[in-house]
Amino acid sequence: MAVVISGKELAKSKKIRMAEEVKGFEQAYGRLPHLAVILVGEDPGSVSYVKGKEKACEEVGFINTTIRKPDTISEEELLNIIDSLNKDNLVDGILVQLPLPKHIHSEKVIQAIRKDKDVDGFHFANVASLYLKQPGIVSCTPKGILEILDSISYPIEGKHAVVIGRSNIVGMPVSKLLLDRNATVTICHSRTKDLASITRQADILVAAVGRANFVTADMVKDGAVVIDVGVNRNLETNKLCGDVKFAEVEPKASYITKVPGGVGPMTICCLMENTIECYLKHVKE
Ligand code: NAP
């Protein structure tokens, strides 16, 4: 039986510590951290993610502004909003909830955010910093995954980490972070041949595919640490589920995360950490 790592509990204790730290900020620096979130449209997933972010800001004591715009907003208007947030010295972090409507060029919008306010870590400069091992903002989900592994004091060095997925927001950055911690990393994707023979070698298996019940027991080595990043809707139960078939994989793993309550809460927690990082940079400038 695996130990189920609760990202929810981990995030809760980290947010309590952050809230303590934030309490001292106003006196020390004259103001509180401020996160601005832009929500375009009313996609239920996006609305719920933004709610989670607002709640977390409240818990840690940040100022939070959510700018809600209809999905008919033009790219120019959105870029103007970002421009004014970039120029506002009282805003530390800017987050544009993705996905954006098709008529808006998402990459153009993301890259318009000042790199020192890019709390998602998606700006080219922050991505480059990660790959060049320079200081910068690390994107939240990969950072949260590493914090989950650290929470169990898992000795990453020398271990074989297999990451399923090569997206810019999860698969690639988490692979780089694991590599930087001296894991031997294999990145798998949709064209990988005989995936199960590779995943069975994993000491650490990170599933970031976006397909419900994709990782089955026969794909997992006994004693592996299994991190489930996927957020999917089970069409039969209409409930959220991950990429890992939890019931059958859990008995084989040594540690495992669950969906919901695993990587998701740690992603939001790391967003709060990144906002503090940007804030401290701004107030100390
Ligand atoms: P994505 O951009 O769609 O990438 C999915 C990756 O999975 C791609 O690299 C794809 O390979 C690979 N893949 C698809 N089918 C495969 C197959 N049959 N065999 C092997 N690999 C396969 O998704 P993402 O943005 O990385 O997100 C992945 C999942 O994590 C989603 O469920 C998303 O909702 C979730 N997520 C959760 C959080 C959180 O905070 N919990 C944050 C971000 C994302 P190709 O590159 O070859 O297409």
In a shared domain, residues 36 and 59: yes
Same domain for 122 and 147: no
| CB of 229 sitting under 6 A from ligand 1 | yes
Planar angle of CA 271, 112, 281, nearest 5 degrees: 50
pLDDT digits (tens, 9 = 90+) for 132-142: 999 999 999 99
Alpha carbon distance, N-terminus to C-terminus of the chain: 50
Ligand 1 binding pocket includes 110 (Cβ within 6 Å): no
Same domain, 207 and 169: yes
The predicted pLDDT at position 249 comes to 98
- In this structure, the answer to whether residues 165 and 218 fall within a common structural domain is yes
What's phi and psi for 31, nearest 5 deg? -160, 170
* Ligand 1 binding pocket mutation candidate from 139, 141, 167 (most atoms within 8 A of CB): 167
Judge if 187 and 105 occupy the same domain.
no
Is 67 within 8 Å of 41 (Cβ atoms)?
no
Which residues partner with 6 through β-bridges? Answer: none
Residue type, 189: H
Task: State whether 145 and 238 are in the same domain.
Answer: yes
Mean pLDDT computed over 233-238:
88
Q: Quick one: which of 282, 274, 285, 276 has its CA closest to 123?
A: 274
Q: Is residue 127 part of a domain?
A: yes
Range(s) of the domain holding residue 97: 27-135
Give rounded-to-5 percent helix, strand, coil for the chain: 45, 15, 40
Supply the pLDDT for residue 253.
98
Name 20's Cβ contacts closer than 8 Å, sequence gap at least 6.
none
- Residue 192, phi then psi, degrees to nearest 5: -65, 135
Cα gap 30→126, rounded to integer Å? 28
pTM above 0.85, yes or no: yes
Domain membership flag for residue 269: no
Task: Please report whether residue 203 resides in a domain.
Answer: yes
Q: What is the pLDDT of residue 19?
A: 98
d(CA 147, CA 185): 18
Q: For residue 227, is pLDDT > 90?
A: yes
Q: Is there a single domain that holds both residue 118 and residue 152?
A: no
SS3 167: coil
Q: Which of 135, 168, 197 is the last residue of a domain?
A: 135
146 within some domain: yes
d(CA 79, CA 187): 35
Nearest Cα to Cα of residue 137 among 150, 152, 122: 122
120 and 47 in a single domain? The answer is yes
Strands (E), 50-194: 63-69, 93-96, 160-164, 184-188
Q: Say how many Å lie between the CA of residue 211 and the centre of ligand 1.
A: 8
Residue 258 and residue 186 in one domain: yes
Domain presence at residue 113: yes
Asked if the structure places residue 256 within a domain, the reply is yes
CA dist list (Å): 235 to 229, 241, 264 = 18, 10, 20
| pLDDT value at residue 236 | 86
Residue 1's pLDDT band (cuts 50, 70, 90): confident
Residues 120 and 228 in one domain: no
Q: Residue 256: which CATH number?
A: 3.40.50.720
Distance of CA 76 from the midpoint of ligand 1 (Å): 30
pLDDT tens sequence across 174-199: 999 999 999 999 999 999 999 999 99
232 shares its domain with 166: yes
Residue 285, pLDDT above cutoff 90:
no
Answer whether residue 268 is part of any domain.
no
| pLDDT the model gives residue 235 | 86
Pick the catalytic residue: 14, 15, 53, 115?
53
Residue 169, pLDDT above cutoff 90: yes
pLDDT band at residue 95 under the 50/70/90 scheme: very high
CATH for 95: 3.40.50.10860
Same domain, 99 and 151: no
Residue 3 scores a pLDDT above 90: yes
169 lines ligand 1 (CB under 6 A): yes
Residue 204 placed within a domain: yes
Q: Look at residue 69 and tell me whether its pLDDT is greater than 90.
A: yes
The total number of structural domains that make up the chain = 2
pLDDT in tens, 197-220: 999 999 999 999 999 999 999 999
